[in-house]
Structures are given as C-alpha cells and as structure tokens.
C-alpha cells in the first residue's frame, strides 16, 4: 500500500513527508534544528518541557513539535519573536530551580541545559523564587543521584521503565515537591536498580553520574610502594576518542596506551586477553554441560548488571548462569597470582585498575566473591569518561600522541576478545572455540553473522559436530526478561544464551561518552562503535581465543587446563539471591 504524503511549509520551506510525521521530524528533513530538552528519540517523546514549541498558522497558542503531527497545508514558524521569548522564559523557569554550580559539575561542557541557556542568552534568572532542596544519594558503589540538578524531563524514568523494564525510579510527590526518586525515596542501592547506568546516558544534566574514584587512582600512582597495573576493556578503545572530539567509533588503542603510560601506570594490559580466558573457561563449561545435558540453557555471566538482575528477579534460574567471572575480574586474579609470581612481586603491593564502559563493574569489583587469598581481584574501576578526565588533568594532548602497544607478557589478545564489547560478541567468540572443542578440529568457520547486529533479540541454530545448538543473544534487560520468562515457563529450547544489560552491549555502557539527544536522534552510535570492534577482529592475526599463545603458555605453566582446580579457584565464582527491595531504616 502506497504511503500517503503530506505537504506543509516550515519557515518558508515547502516539504512533503509521510503522514504521521511530527513537526520536529519534518523540520529536520529541511535542516531546521528545533531545540528539545525532554525529548529522547523512541524513548521519551512526551512534550513535557515545551522547549520545542513552534507557531502554526491558524491556531491559537503554541504547538509542541515533538508530539504534534503534520497536517496537509500546515504552515509552521519555528523561530518567531514569540517563540524565542517563550523558550527563554521556559529556560529561565527551569534554571530558577536548578543548582548553579556549573563550573564544578561533572557535566559542565556536556550539559544540554547549559547549551540551551547559552544559545538563548539566559544569563540571569528573572524568576528566582524558592528552590527545592534534596539530599544527594551516593550510597551505591556505582551511581550518584543529585536531584538538585534534575529538571524533571523524565528521560531517565522512561529509559529505566521502557527500555530496561526495571522501573526502579519514577516521579513521586506532587506540585513543587515533585521529584524523580525510588519507591519510598530510598537509595538506589536499596531497590531493584542493576547499576546499568542507562539513566546516566539519558540524563541531560548532572543529576545522575557515576561515583568517581579518580582521586584514589591518582594517590596510588604517586605511591612509590604501589605497583599499579591498568587494564582496558574492548570497547574503551572505540569510544575514548569521542571525549577528545574524534569521530564516533574511532579506534584509539595506540594513543590510549601511550596516554596510560604517561599517566604513570607501571604496566598497561589488555582486558581482551582476559576475555580470551573467559572464552576458554566458558566454552569448556558449555561443552561439559551440553554433553551432560546439565543446567541448560547456560547463560553468560560477564555482565554484572545482568547478573545482579537475575539475582534480584529470577534467583531460581541462577544455576543456569555460567560460573565464570567477567574478563576483567579473571584478568585481575591472574595478575595477582600468575603475573605476581612470574615477576616476583608481592601481590599485596599490586593495585589493579580496570577501565570499563560499565558502571556496574564498580559494584562487581566490591563483591566479596571477587577475592583470592584475601585480596580483591580488582582494586578500582574507572569509566571511559573518568579516564578522559585523568588524561585532561595531566595536560596530555591526546590527539597528537604516538601509538604504543600493550605490555608483555599479558598484552596479546585475539579478535575474539575484541568483539566482547558488542552484543552477540561473547556468543560468537564462544562458538568459535566451542566448535573446535566439540569436533576436535581447527575449523575455518569464524563468523557467526546470525548473532550480530543491533536487534534486541537474535536467535540462531548452529550445527556443530552433527548436533544442532540453539543459541540466543539479547541486549537490554527488557529483552532479557522475555528470555528468562521463556525459560521459567519451560518454553525455551535454547542451549546457550548471551545477555548484555545495556542495549547494544558494552559499547553503549553507562560509563561511555554521553551523547546528546540531538546526536542520538541523528546518528547510530552503537553501529559505528560496533563496526570498529569488528574491524579490529577482522584485522587480527589470531581470531580464536584458544589459539592465543599467551593463554596457551599460562595454562601450560600455571592453570594446567580449562576447568582445572586452580582455574576454578581463580577464574570462577558463585552467585546469591538478592531481595528485590531491602529498605533499611
């Protein structure tokens, strides 16, 4: 059926668009950028803030362009004096109840409210009035919630509820007392928050941000008695450059390593190597379960937000989770055992810092299960954004840095490790190794295209050694719930499941560079970052985890074999059921 087109005029430009298009969408087609604040494409399109108002000839009052649909013959004006003055007043009213510590705010320079205030020349608040005051919630190890900087746009609420299916936060109270909080106004630490950080990615201001730990890292870097080792997750290298004005998805691995060495880290290692160990242990665990038909389907366990979600909401399904630690935790355990012994370093002197795209890793690092011989596997987790701050604080001209390589002997990784950072990557990497383990052959099949792409749930059937293995890769916790419900109801016939808490995987983690609503409306950030990781994989000499020479040597000299007693002691863990709500007085 042919789509019906509507003709309208926007700021003197005649345009034809599909019926059902909003004025905001139509304006973009002719290069007119109508300002928005509460709008978040496909997530929060409610017209609450009214920043996107326009005038439409023949009607009284303003039209809200993000929700108003076009009509045949409509004539729209986006920047009349009345419109501009109304937007300025709206901003003034919002800012009047907003803490104005912009110079010290974590989002200064990347705040959508700040950008609009500058654009509309809102220099002084004409409506000071009374300001609401709220306590800062910094109880959780991952997220800080400062409602004093909230503008009630509800983008975080829509993301938590509609994208992740969690609903840990919502608007509570009424009138002047309205605010975004949890049930009973408890800390995020005490409700069913998974610390995925997608609310941070959605927030236009500094009302939500990660709990920073930069100062602790700086102190250790200056401590002559500390041996400070840093490891970087796969997706950091394809996102860090964005903090320095580079194109989205630019691979800055070499510059990143150079910057870390200049910051003073004693060794710079690659978490991709840890990912290769994860695959060896996970693939071996899957093969054992598959042969024994035990606790299937097996579910991946490398995403701490996802693990916490299962612990809180589906504790009866915990036996289905792989017992493998996540890559950076595995790697931290190896650094404080194998590497410490090899280099004759006291493990208690080693301070491991993980640079992660994920703020839930801050929670994971503190889990009591993540210890060996009384020492945490990882001592500190900083995000991509925090690393960028460190580089800027050190006055390093990142764009002009020469490339360096990761340090030996634990700096070699495979293409399989690289794709861990995108949804479907863990599954594909595991299948590359599992197929060789099950057949006893070095098979040529490398790519498993069916589990790639941005689709929230990807199902496939893989034939290995004459046996059909049904797999599914899902990202976003709302999609995860669908898979878990199938298992719970006995409707799932999968054998292997990969879940990432963040839509798109780690490349879109809560600790990654924050993109404005405008950029998210125009650019597929996930696709660009994912393509960069797949390019790294394709250009890698070795693309199967079990063929990594570093991995082979460590198994031969130290771990013996996947699934051995020592491997289990260092690289595996267990989980616990958590109460969905734990309201402590």
Residues annotated as catalytic (active site), given as ranges: 282, 285, 302, 322, 361, 364, 369, 506
Distance CA 67, CA 84 (A): 19
Q: Sort residue 490 into left (φ over 0), alpha (ψ -120 to 50) or beta.
A: left
Angle subtended at Cα 494 by Cα 551 and Cα 287, rounded to the nearest 5 degrees: 30
CA-closest candidate to residue 302, choices 280, 320, 329: 329
CB 111 within 8 Å of CB 159: no
Distance CA 388, CA 267 (A): 18
Burial 48-62 (b: 16+ CB within 10 A, else e): bbbbbbbbbeeeeeb
Q: How far is CA 477 from CA 206, 388, 473, 518, 572, in A?
A: 24, 28, 12, 25, 24
CB 144 within 8 Å of CB 211: yes
CB 34 within 8 Å of CB 86: no
First to last CA, the chain: 60
Distance CA 171, CA 185 (A): 10
Q: Which residues contact 57 (CB under 8 A, 6 or more apart)?
A: 74, 75, 76, 77
Distance CA 462, CA 495 (A): 11
Distance CA 291, CA 559 (A): 23
Q: How far is CA 568 from CA 210, 307, 335, 547, 572, in A?
A: 32, 19, 16, 21, 5
**How many CB atoms neighbour CB 412 within 10 A?**
21
* DSSP letters spanning 239-258: TGGGGGTPPTT---HHHHHH
Question: Which residue carries 């250790």 as its tokens?
Answer: 220
CB 508 within 8 Å of CB 526: yes
What are the two backbone dihedrals, phi and then psi, of residue 559, each rounded to the nearest 5 degrees?
-90, -15
Distance CA 387, CA 427 (A): 28
């Amino acid at each position: 059926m042919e789509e019906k087109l509507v003709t309208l005029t926007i700021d003197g430009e005649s345009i034809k668009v599909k019926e059902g298009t909003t004025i905001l969408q139509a304006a973009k087609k002719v290069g007119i950028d109508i300002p928005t604040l509460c709008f978040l494409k496909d997530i929060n399109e409610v017209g609450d803030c009214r920043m996107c108002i326009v005038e439409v000839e023949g009607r009284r009052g303003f039209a809200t362009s993000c929700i108003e649909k076009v009509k045949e013959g409509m004539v729209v004006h986006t920047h009349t004096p009345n419109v501009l003055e109304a937007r300025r007043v709206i901003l003034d009213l919002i800012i009047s109840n907003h803490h104005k510590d912009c110079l010290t705010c974590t989002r200064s320079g990347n705040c959508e409210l700040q950008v609009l205030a500058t654009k509309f020349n809102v220099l002084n608040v004409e409506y000071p009035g009374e300001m609401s005051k709220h306590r800062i919630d910094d109880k959780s190890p991952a997220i800080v919630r400062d409602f004093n900087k909230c503008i009630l746009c509800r983008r975080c609420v829509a993301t938590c509820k509609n994208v992740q299916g969690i609903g840990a936060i919502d608007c509570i109270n009424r009138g002047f007392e309205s605010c975004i909080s949890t049930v009973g106004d408890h800390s995020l630490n005490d409700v069913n928050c998974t610390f995925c950080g997608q609310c941070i990615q959605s927030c236009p201001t500094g009302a939500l941000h990660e709990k920073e730990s930069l100062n602790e890292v700086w102190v250790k870097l200056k401590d002559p008695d500390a041996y400070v080792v840093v490891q970087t997750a796969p997706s950091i290298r394809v996102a860090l450059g964005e903090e320095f004005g580079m194109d989205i998805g630019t691979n800055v691995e070499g510059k990143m390593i150079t910057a870390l060495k200049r910051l003073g880290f004693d060794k710079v290692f690659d978490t991709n190597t840890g990912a290769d160990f994860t695959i060896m242990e996970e693939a071996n665990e899957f093969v054992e379960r598959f042969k024994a038909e035990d606790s299937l389907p097996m579910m991946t366990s490398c995403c701490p937000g996802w693990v916490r979600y299962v612990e809180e909401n589906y504790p009866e399904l915990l036996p289905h989770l792989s017992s493998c630690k996540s890559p950076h935790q595995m790697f931290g355990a190896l650094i404080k055992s194998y590497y410490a012994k090899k280099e004759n370093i006291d493990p208690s002197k080693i301070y491991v810092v993980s640079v992660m795209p994920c703020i839930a890793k801050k929670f994971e690092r503190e889990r009591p299960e993540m210890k060996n011989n009384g020492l945490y596997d990882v001592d500190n987790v900083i995000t991509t954004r925090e690393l960028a701050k460190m580089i800027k604080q050190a006055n390093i001209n990142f764009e002009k840095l020469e490339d360096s390589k990761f340090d030996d002997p634990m700096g070699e990784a495979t293409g399989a490790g690289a794709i861990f950072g995108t949804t479907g990557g863990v599954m594909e990497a595991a299948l590359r190794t599992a197929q060789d383990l099950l057949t006893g052959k070095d098979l040529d099949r490398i790519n498993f295209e069916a589990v790639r792409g941005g689709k929230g749930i990807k199902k496939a059937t893989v034939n290995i050694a004459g046996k059909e293995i049904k797999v599914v890769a899902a990202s976003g916790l709302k999609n995860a719930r669908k898979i878990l419900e199938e298992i719970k109801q006995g409707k799932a016939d999968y054998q292997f499941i990969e879940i990432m808490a963040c839509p798109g995987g780690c490349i879109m983690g809560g600790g990654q560079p924050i993109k404005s609503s405008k950029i998210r409306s125009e650019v597929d950030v996930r696709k660009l970052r994912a393509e960069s990781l797949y390019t790294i994989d394709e250009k890698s000499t070795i693309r199967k985890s079990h063929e990594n020479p570093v991995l082979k040597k460590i198994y031969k000299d130290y771990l013996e074999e996947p699934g051995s007693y020592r491997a289990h002691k260092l690289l595996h863990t267990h989980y616990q059921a958590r109460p969905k709500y734990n309201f402590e007085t």
